[in-house]
Structure 1
Amino acid sequence: MNAQVGNRVAVHQPLLSTQEEQRLSVIMETVERNRFLPAPTPENVFVGDGDYRAIGAEYLGHFVRLGGLKPSHRVLDVGCGIGRMAVPLTQYLDGEASRYEGVDPVKDGIEWCVQNITSVYPHFRFCQIDLAHELYNPGGALGGHEVVLPFSDASFDFIAMVSVATHLPIAEIAAYSREIRRLLSPVGRLFMTTFLVLDGDLERENARPKFVPGKDPGTWYGAPDAPLAAIGFDRNLVEQAVREAGLQIECVSLGHWRGIDSMHYQDVVIATSPGKAA
Structure 2
Amino acid sequence: MNAQIGSKIPAFEALLSPAEENRLSWMMEIIERNRFLPAPAPENVFVGDGDYRAIGVEYLGHLVRIGGLKPSDRVLDIGCGIGRMAVPLTQFLDESTGCYEGVDPVKEGITWCTQNITPVYPRFRFCQIDLAHELYNRGGSLAGHEVVLPFSDASFDFIFMVSVATHLPADEIEAYSREAMRLLAPGGRLFMTAFLILDGDLERDGARPKFIAGRESGTWYGDPSAPLAAIGFERNLIEQAIHGEGLRIQRVSLGHWRGTDSTHYQDIIVATKPGKAT
Where does residue 241 of structure 1 map in the other structure?
241
1:162 to 2:166 alignment: no
Where does residue 75 of structure 1 map in the other structure?
75
Once residues 170 and 17 of structure 1 are traced to their aligned partners in structure 2, the CA distance between those partners, rounded to angstroms, is 37
Question: How many Å apart are 1:156 and its aligned residue?
Answer: 0.4
More displaced stretch, 268-277 vs 170-179: 268-277
Once residues 11 and 155 of structure 2 are traced to their aligned partners in structure 1, the CA distance between those partners, rounded to angstroms, is 26
Q: Which amino acid aligns with 2:121?
A: Y
Residue 195 of structure 1 contacts residue 267 of structure 1 at CA under 8 Å; is this kept in 2?
Answer: yes
Where does residue 181 of structure 1 map in the other structure?
181
Residue 60 of structure 1 contacts residue 85 of structure 1 at CA under 8 Å; is this kept in 2?
Answer: yes
Cα deviation 1:100-119 (Å, max 9, x = unaligned): 00000000000000111101
SS in 2 for 1:54: helix
Residue 2 of structure 1 contacts residue 9 of structure 1 at CA under 8 Å; is this kept in 2?
Answer: no
Cα distance change on mapping 1:276 and 1:259 into 2, 3 Å: farther
Identity across matched positions, percent: 76
Where does residue 86 of structure 2 map in the other structure?
86
SS in 1 for 2:250: strand
Residue 187 of structure 1 contacts residue 275 of structure 1 at CA under 8 Å; is this kept in 2?
Answer: yes
Once residues 104 and 140 of structure 1 are traced to their aligned partners in structure 2, the CA distance between those partners, rounded to angstroms, is 11
Q: Which amino acid aligns with 1:137?
A: N
Answer 1 or 2: higher relative contact order, Cα 8 Å, separation at least 6. Answer: 2
Residue 78 of structure 2 contacts residue 161 of structure 2 at CA under 8 Å; is this kept in 1?
Answer: yes
Where does residue 65 of structure 1 map in the other structure?
65
SS in 1 for 2:136: coil
Where does residue 103 of structure 2 map in the other structure?
103
Question: How many Å apart are 1:18 and its aligned residue?
Answer: 2.9
SS in 2 for 1:64: helix
Once residues 168 and 3 of structure 2 are traced to their aligned partners in structure 1, the CA distance between those partners, rounded to angstroms, is 30
Once residues 74 and 215 of structure 1 are traced to their aligned partners in structure 2, the CA distance between those partners, rounded to angstroms, is 38
Structure 1 stretches of 5 or more lacking a match? Answer: none
Where does residue 145 of structure 1 map in the other structure?
145
SS in 2 for 1:245: coil
Where does residue 190 of structure 1 map in the other structure?
190
Where does residue 123 of structure 1 map in the other structure?
123
Question: How many Å apart are 1:27 and its aligned residue?
Answer: 1.5
SS in 2 for 1:24: helix
Q: Which amino acid aligns with 1:65?
A: R
SS in 1 for 2:29: helix
SS in 2 for 1:239: helix
Q: What do you get for the CA RMSD once the two structures are aligned?
A: 1.7
Question: How many Å apart are 1:8 and its aligned residue?
Answer: 5.1
TM-score (norm 1): 0.95
Cα distance change on mapping 1:3 and 1:252 into 2, 3 Å: closer
Once residues 180 and 10 of structure 1 are traced to their aligned partners in structure 2, the CA distance between those partners, rounded to angstroms, is 25
Cα deviation 1:196-227 (Å, max 9, x = unaligned): 01111111000000001100111000011100
Where does residue 113 of structure 1 map in the other structure?
113
Q: Which amino acid aligns with 2:67?
A: G
Once residues 238 and 2 of structure 2 are traced to their aligned partners in structure 1, the CA distance between those partners, rounded to angstroms, is 19
How many residues get paired? 275
Q: Which amino acid aligns with 1:155?
A: S
SS in 1 for 2:120: coil
Where does residue 272 of structure 1 map in the other structure?
272
Residue 3 of structure 1 contacts residue 11 of structure 1 at CA under 8 Å; is this kept in 2?
Answer: no
Once residues 10 and 39 of structure 2 are traced to their aligned partners in structure 1, the CA distance between those partners, rounded to angstroms, is 35
Question: How many Å apart are 1:10 and its aligned residue?
Answer: 5.5
TM-score (norm 2): 0.95
Q: How does 1:40-59 map to 2 (within 5 A)?
A: 40-59=40-59
Cα deviation 1:133-173 (Å, max 9, x = unaligned): 00000000100001000100011000010000000000000
Once residues 46 and 248 of structure 1 are traced to their aligned partners in structure 2, the CA distance between those partners, rounded to angstroms, is 33
Question: How many Å apart are 1:79 and its aligned residue?
Answer: 0.2
Question: How many Å apart are 1:19 and its aligned residue?
Answer: 2.9
Where does residue 135 of structure 1 map in the other structure?
135
